[in-house]
Amino acid sequence: MNPPRLAKIIAVSIIAVLIVTFAKTSTRGFSPHTGEMIIKGAGATFPYPLYLKWIREYERIRPVRIDYQSVGSGGGIRLLMSGSVDFAGSDAPLNDEEMSKILEAGRGVVHVPTVAGAVVIVFNLPGARELNLTPDTIAKIFLGKIKYWDNPSITKYNDINLPHEEIRTVHRVDGSGTTYIFTYYLSKISDEWRTKIGYGKEVDWPTGLGGKGNEGVSQLIQQIPYSIGYTEYTYAITAGLSMASVMNRAGIFITPSVESISKAAVGYLEELKEDIRSAIVNSPEEDAYPISSYTYIITYQDWSQDPEKGKALAEFLWWATHDGQMFAPDLGYAPLHPEVVKIVESIISEMKANGSPLLGGARQ
């Protein structure tokens, strides 16, 4: 059995085990040992370092325990649809099929953006720490059409001696919001990618090796000379990986940073007001890093069957999208734009129990 298929089977098996495990423990109730409210979540690896920080900080000030399992966006959504968790972390909004399945349960659904992050192009090119790549070049590398590092499409924009070595691409094998963001970007900038491959949390990659999670991709890049892949910005920073500068819509090569990620949302504020699930990739802003995105916590709108837990979750979401934003930059995430915070406030106010908002009164 080939390694990518084996890794995918392992990832699916882990999700199945988690569904059974969570199902054995009711999502209602309190810890019998501490009396704390227990909230269960699972999903995206993209925001995992920040969510762990938020959970530690929040549990210091409130009698609540939040258990978040980093299983990938696809896994988190499956756990939410099975009723095994209270919320899913996802870098991709629900698609129409996923939305309809949750809505069938009659509890509604809300998408709460938490922070902005970026998918970065990481590479292992001996002797080089900097690299400029155009959108067309990135698409052709992952389509398998550009096979060597000294291809003219690469050398044209890089004032370094690039070797005639084969490019080895690396991608995710698990259902991944990181993959969704990256392939959505490729579909926006490449007609060939859009028609042949498309976008989603999982796609049929035309070439390359697969790794599980951002961690798995990062490890493969570190181990394989002349490799290139994609991962979340924070994981690239933590692993010390080299990140490519990507040409944006303004024709400027932009290095990923908290500042350049923050700029991405500015070009899409009107779209976000219409639909918070709107993508912010390939932003028209001059200083924006083009492969940026919001990551979401997706949960139920109607908490009539467990108002106390719903209120505890809504309070955590309010704290995370307000006070919790101060922890984002140090971990490589861009805080929510002030206009987006206003939208988030209205979304959280839609969380209700027996027809009444879970968070009553004005919030500052």
What confidence tier does 176 reach under pLDDT thresholds 50, 70, 90? Answer: confident
Span 336-347, average pLDDT: 96
pLDDT score, position 215: 87
> Phi/psi at 107 (nearest 5 deg)?
-110, -5
If pLDDT is split at 50, 70 and 90, which confidence band does 23 have? Answer: very low
| Residue 20 clears pLDDT 80, i.e. is over it | no
Q: What pLDDT does residue 35 have?
A: 59
Share of the chain above pLDDT 70, in %: 89
Is a pLDDT exceeding 80 seen at residue 304? yes
Domains of the chain: 3-116+294-357 (3.40.190.10), 118-274 (3.40.190.10)
Instruction: Give the C-alpha separation, 85 to 38, whole Å.
Output: 11
Other Cβ atoms less than 10 A from the Cβ of 283: the count is 25
Token pair belonging to 317: 């979401």
C-beta atoms surrounding 127 within 10 Å: 8
pLDDT tens digit sequence for 131-170: 999 999 999 999 999 999 999 999 999 999 999 999 999 9
- Is 60 exceeded by the pLDDT of residue 47? yes
d(CA 293, CA 173): 20
User: In the predicted model, what is the mean pLDDT of residues 269-291?
Assistant: 94
Residue spans of beta strands (DSSP E) within 282-325 = 292-299
For the chain, list the strands marked E by DSSP. Answer: 37-43, 64-70, 87-90, 110-124, 132-133, 168-172, 209-211, 227-232, 242-243, 245-247, 253-254, 292-299, 352-353, 356-357
Determine the pLDDT at residue 135: 98
Q: What is the mean pLDDT of residues 256-279?
A: 93
Q: What token pair was written down for 115?
A: 């922070």
17 CB burial (10 A radius; 0-12, 13-18, 19+): exposed
Average pLDDT, the chain: 89
Q: Indicate whether 25 pLDDT > 50.
A: no
Per-residue confidence (pLDDT) for residue 42, from 0 to 100: 97
Q: How confident is the model at residue 97 (pLDDT cuts 50, 70, 90)?
A: confident
Whether residue 239 is predicted with pLDDT greater than 80 in this model: the reply is yes
User: What is the end-to-end Cα distance of the chain in Å, rounded?
Assistant: 56
The two structure tokens encoding residue 196: 């042949």
Question: What local confidence, expressed as pLDDT, does residue 73 receive?
Answer: 87
Compute the average pLDDT of residues 16-37: 47
Say which residue, 190 or 9, is predicted with more confidence: 190
Q: What confidence score (pLDDT) does residue 174 get?
A: 86
Spatial CB neighbours of 323, under 8 Å, sequence gap ≥ 6: none
Name the pLDDT band for 230 (thresholds 50, 70, 90): very high
pLDDT tier for residue 177 given thresholds of 50, 70 and 90: confident
Residues 6+ apart with CB under 8 A from 273: 339, 343
Over residues 312-324, the mean pLDDT reads 98
pLDDT at 9 over 50: no
Check pLDDT > 90 for residue 87. yes
pLDDT at residue 34 greater than cutoff 80: no
